[in-house]
Chains A and B, each alone.
Chain A
């Protein structure tokens, strides 16, 4: 009798365990309250919902996953720790290379999406002259602002108008509504520049596939862009294609015809320069994985098991080197993941060391042109050399600004760095020929360049580094009143 009773209890216990095990956190209150609305295929949220927190109760698993973006963790070359790109192990020559532009004052490694608003608010590159366009990929309020203000949005003053307006609207840093329709949760593109640019290249955007959307939602921001000359609109240089040479061609033809010639005038070489911005989408699209139709989400949003049992798409956007099992292993399941990781690091090693070399040669080229100017070389030759240095810098910057250290397109990135070195060397050769004619000592010039580089590297305050790039031997070449930016 007693034994029978024990058996019954044991059985009961097993059932209780199974029932509790099958109905824990995932089926909690929030989910149930929403089930009625879900039956109709909507979330019950307003179509204009822009607060990330509004989605929290309905989608606690995805929300918690998104909040993991708070984590700051470095990989060998990249990662999500906020630190200066001028650090000795990063790109210490940047204060020279961007001299005369905001990027020589402050330029940091990027953190997770949750910090987008905080970081754009803090960065010293935002001044009283900054425009609305700078806010475009930081806040969930942007799509509505564009809808309300039309093309006035782009050129409106950042500090005076756009930021206070965003705060009043209750903006969130890049989040749910930027990629999802709040009512149906369908993926959507909310930044108009993206489809405009794809269409300019002749790509049909009327009926994108699910696979396309898994890249498009990222591609609306993770791209190279400039602010249009007439209204400061965020514009992607994609008419000729996605490769660095295609985009350079665009800047030297179509952009110029539309009135955009440069981002700034270089303070050392006086060259009209372009600043490249994070072209992850374009680089990936031309790379091995992109060509094989692998989408951004495939590697950057692998599944994760969130409450022990359920699999969801990860909303923690970071280096897949941190999730190789689910990011890489899903396709490369037959490979030893450690060996795959070694391969990734090898690619990045090669790219980063080539990048450092290209930056070094580019730095030298800027100084050689400075010397051309101060030695009275003909304007014609200076212009030629300035075009070389502009081109040389574009071809390394488009790789340096890209956040994969070459991995998104290993060969394409190396090819771009090779072109960069060729162009910078063209500038140096032309300058050398002219300087020798003028009787300038190349030996002295080289030693002055080394001195300036060392002085920049030796300065410990990031903001002051740029000041050491110039001295009495290398005087500033920027017009005293800089050309008003767009």
Chain B
């Protein structure tokens, strides 16, 4: 306990330095701004803004990126409520009741409760991360390559189940991601794999390139296809602070959403996405009068928004303790850490204690900033929504190109991104969701490395994965998860959760 307090004190002294406060502030502000603009999710945002962090020290850079991440989440919810456009997947549920509230002239209350719920969730999640970090790191240090490999298999199994759409399609995307990750020079033997003699491919595909092409640009292409329709409510935003009545209704959902979101966010394989959906389903089930949902029920905003934020934060846990990014945003964080010379994994906590705890403390600081800075600024954010998409997407493209070019100062990276934009677009058209692809790509390299190491230790016997009890347990869990996903009963439940 004293350890925990001491660590948190170290964290806060780092996060509260003038420079880091400033960076967290800029991160939150820029993140919110871009999150508000429809058509750019957090992945594209972080990729675009990655070069901005190059000139800072690693702690500052990561604090700013984390701020961008929360800011974008928060901005995404703002558009979900005001214009019925979810800034990203996790805000989809918020459109249901949030936008209805806006139509009834209660946009301010919806925004307010979303912010309060998020802040509460952020506080709880910060403490959970701080408390879980040390034991998890100890556990991680006991893990050998075989255990790591099996854990990542479990993560990918979760990713298949948690993806929207058909299971075989999600599985295909994971495998495609794994395949893409093998492109480039093999580290152990120096053999060139799948490079087709192209120079641009010899060092592999940069994650930022893949993410920007397949997610960022493909998103632009998708938006270009759909005629622009923005349901900007003409109703006034109204007062921001919810009244006692609203607070009473929202309190329990906020607590439940926070717990649900935190727990799901820890799952390897992007459990954070599931949080808001699960919370909405739960609140609807618990409600005395479920018919109110979809017609502006405040519980339908409070629960999912809390779950969303809690999950966003607890998804840092696998990254910070095990070095395994559970989703694409965290994978970008890995990229950012690597650029600054930090290898994510169990050693970060001891070797870079200041960075580790500083980041955790900055999460809390960031949440507070979002609460006190952003709510009063809602009016300004709304103004940005008036920028028409015909001007927005060329600007997105210009900034994205600069961002991609700056990561490695490489024109061929920009060219590859253009190619992946077409690939991502084609995949969307064929009904494939691209998020699992990114996860497969990220985990691919780590998996191969650990697979080979494990086999080396076991002198080439594949049985090592089932002979070591922890590894066997993890693989067993992966199998159960996958089999369960195919069972008709679970399949139906899964479809229900995602359609709500």
Does chain A bind chain B? no
Binding site for B on A (CB under 8 A): none
Residues of B within 8 A of A (CB): none
